[in-house]
């Protein structure tokens, strides 16, 4: 997986601000069009406003400096927040959970096209606020090619197309069946194809996959850090679920975070190698029959031993190369796990300071010169805002 350098900004909601679920949707749209990986990071950390207190902070890591500058200004202009250049502290967390999707990513985690009444981020912030080692991380990158897999999933569940694994099993089973039929002199069975009637569940899944096809897609990596197992369970319960949801894929102990920004993937190679756990035994059996070592009708000691060896040959691939259901979310789905909380006024969140501005657009030449006398306001304001090395909490 490719790693990126990354530039950090911190987003602090204003006390007078108002936020709805999915409040980062427009920002995510910009990041989708940019096509570079980014990371959203929430962490329970020492407050920058009150030194003796702790607060949940929200950070966004972008792939390059120019993008970070642009996104920071866009967020400041369109949301009730203060944006500062700040990097989250690298801390050692006792436990890490990496998530995967419970079902195929073609099925959404929320009802697409409907207004979301609850904001899952509120529950995640609540879980983090009671754990000093708590953090939540979402890394994502635009992935338009994921549309192909969603299309294949829809065709598979509706019976219009079979999956490659099913095709391979049918071919090998056909070969074995033909050999057995030839040995006993039985004529091969005639193919019996019937039109598949879709039940209500399959129809609902096919319709949901169709909706997801028409949206911008991101391949994601989602992780939760905590000092207690209870925190990780609460974060898991807070994540949205509709036709699909999340489950734990792997847990690790004593992990430093945040780490280097890495482009997430759909684990295509890993899952392809995992298929060897059933392909290898079938090929072993076919080759044994062709070479005459195995006779399915004889079932002697040698035949039983060869069959056992064939089954055992797939176990190493199953254990060493675990299959993983990748996380691919639409822009709408991603916006309900990446963003700011709705009920932040009742949560221990790092507050932002209202930025007072006096930058006006002069309408006449005299007003322009007058404006330039007041601390360089006007056209020079843009030049004064630099995304350069400053103090860790300097406003953009």
| Tens digit of each residue's pLDDT (9 = 90 or more) over 223-267 | 999 999 999 999 999 999 989 999 999 999 999 999 999 999 887
Rounded distance between C-alpha atoms, residue 386 and residue 396, angstroms: 7
Q: What is the mean pLDDT of residues 34-62?
A: 91
Q: State the sign of the Cα–Cα–Cα–Cα dihedral 72, 73, 79, 85.
A: positive
Higher pLDDT residue, 331 or 288? 331
Rounded distance between C-alpha atoms, residue 101 and residue 107, angstroms: 10
Q: Where are the beta strands (DSSP E) in 22-174?
A: 38-46, 54-62, 81-85, 91-101, 135-142
The listed range with the strongest mean pLDDT (1-5, 94-98, 282-286, 310-314) is: 94-98
61-97, pLDDT tens digit by residue?
Answer: 999 999 999 999 999 999 999 999 999 999 999 999 9
Is the separation of the CB atoms in 264 and 315 below 8 Å? no
pLDDT confidence of residue 186: 54
Q: Considering only 38-47, 259-268, 378-387, which range has the smallest mean pLDDT?
A: 378-387
Nearest of 266, 268, 278 to residue 316 by alpha carbon: 278
- Per-residue pLDDT band for 116 (boundaries 50, 70, 90) equals confident
Rounded distance between C-alpha atoms, residue 339 and residue 251, angstroms: 25
pLDDT confidence of residue 81: 95
Four-CA torsion 257, 259, 263, 268, nearest 10 degrees: -70
Mean pLDDT, all residues of the chain: 81
pLDDT confidence of residue 379: 33
Q: What is the mean pLDDT of residues 200-222?
A: 94
Rounded distance between C-alpha atoms, residue 112 and residue 137, angstroms: 23
pLDDT confidence of residue 364: 43
Is the separation of the CB atoms in 212 and 81 below 8 Å? no
Which pTM does this prediction carry? 0.75
Q: Give Cα 93 distance to the centre of its chain.
A: 21
Q: Is the pLDDT of residue 171 over 70?
A: no
Region of residue 267 (left: phi > 0; alpha: psi -120 to 50; beta: else)? left
Q: What is the mean pLDDT of residues 313-337?
A: 84
Q: Is the pLDDT of residue 6 over 60?
A: yes
pLDDT confidence of residue 345: 85
Rounded distance between C-alpha atoms, residue 210 and residue 106, angstroms: 9
Percentage of the chain modeled with pLDDT above 90:
54
Q: Is the pLDDT of residue 2 over 90?
A: no
Spell out the residues 6+ positions from residue 384 whose beta carbon is closer than 8 angstroms to its own: 376
pLDDT confidence of residue 308: 78
pLDDT confidence of residue 154: 93
- Token digits of residue 176: 């074995």
Q: What is the mean pLDDT of residues 204-214?
A: 93
Rounded distance between C-alpha atoms, residue 81 and residue 52, angstroms: 23
- Per-residue pLDDT band for 382 (boundaries 50, 70, 90) equals very low
The listed range with the strongest mean pLDDT (272-276, 308-312, 370-374) is: 308-312
Q: What is the mean pLDDT of residues 318-334?
A: 87
Higher pLDDT residue, 96 or 388? 96
Higher pLDDT residue, 256 or 373? 256
Nearest of 335, 334, 327, 342 to residue 125 by alpha carbon: 342
Higher pLDDT residue, 297 or 208? 208
pLDDT confidence of residue 363: 43
Cα 171–186–183 angle (5° rounding)? 75
pLDDT confidence of residue 184: 52
Cβ of 222: how many Cβ atoms within 10 Å?
Answer: 25
């Amino acid at each position: 997986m490719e790693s990126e350098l990354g530039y950090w900004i911190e987003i602090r909601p204003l006390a007078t601000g108002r936020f709805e679920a999915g409040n980062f949707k427009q920002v995510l749209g910009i990041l989708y069009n940019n096509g570079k990986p980014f990371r959203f990071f929430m962490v329970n950390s020492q407050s920058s406003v009150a030194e003796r207190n702790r607060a949940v902070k929200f950070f966004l890591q972008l792939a390059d400096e120019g993008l970070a500058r642009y996104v920071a200004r866009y967020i400041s202009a369109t949301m009730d927040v203060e944006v500062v250049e700040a990097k989250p502290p690298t801390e050692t967390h006792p436990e890490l959970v990496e998530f995967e999707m419970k079902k195929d990513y073609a099925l959404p985690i929320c009802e697409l096209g409907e207004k979301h009444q609850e904001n899952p981020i509120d529950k995640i912030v609540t879980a983090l606020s009671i754990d000093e080692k708590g953090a939540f991380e979402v890394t994502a990158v635009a992935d338009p090619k994921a549309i192909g897999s969603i299309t294949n999933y829809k065709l598979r569940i509706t019976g219009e197309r079979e999956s490659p694994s099913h095709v391979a099993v049918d071919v090998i089973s056909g070969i074995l069946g033909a050999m057995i039929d030839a040995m006993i002199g039985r004529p091969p069975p005639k193919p019996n194809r019937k039109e598949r009637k879709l039940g209500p569940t399959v129809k609902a899944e096919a319709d949901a996959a169709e909706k997801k096809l028409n949206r911008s897609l991101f391949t994601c990596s989602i992780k939760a850090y905590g000092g207690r197992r209870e925190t990780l369970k609460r974060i898991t319960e807070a994540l949205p679920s509709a036709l699909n949801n999340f489950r734990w894929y792997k847990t690790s102990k004593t992990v430093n975070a945040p780490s280097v920004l890495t482009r997430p993937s759909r684990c295509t190679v890993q899952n392809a190698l995992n298929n060897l756990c059933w392909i290898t035994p079938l090929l072993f059996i076919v080759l044994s029959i062709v070479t005459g070592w195995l006779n399915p009708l004889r079932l002697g000691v040698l035949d039983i031993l060869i069959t056992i060896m064939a089954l055992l040959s797939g176990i190493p691939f199953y254990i060493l190369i675990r299959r993983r259901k990748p996380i691919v979310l639409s822009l709408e789905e991603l916006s309900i796990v990446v963003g700011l909380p709705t009920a932040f006024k009742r949560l221990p969140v790092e507050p932002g300071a209202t930025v007072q501005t006096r930058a006006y657009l002069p309408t006449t030449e005299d007003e322009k010169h007058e404006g330039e006398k007041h601390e360089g306001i006007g056209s020079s304001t843009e030049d004064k805002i630099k995304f350069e090395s400053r103090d860790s909490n300097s406003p953009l």
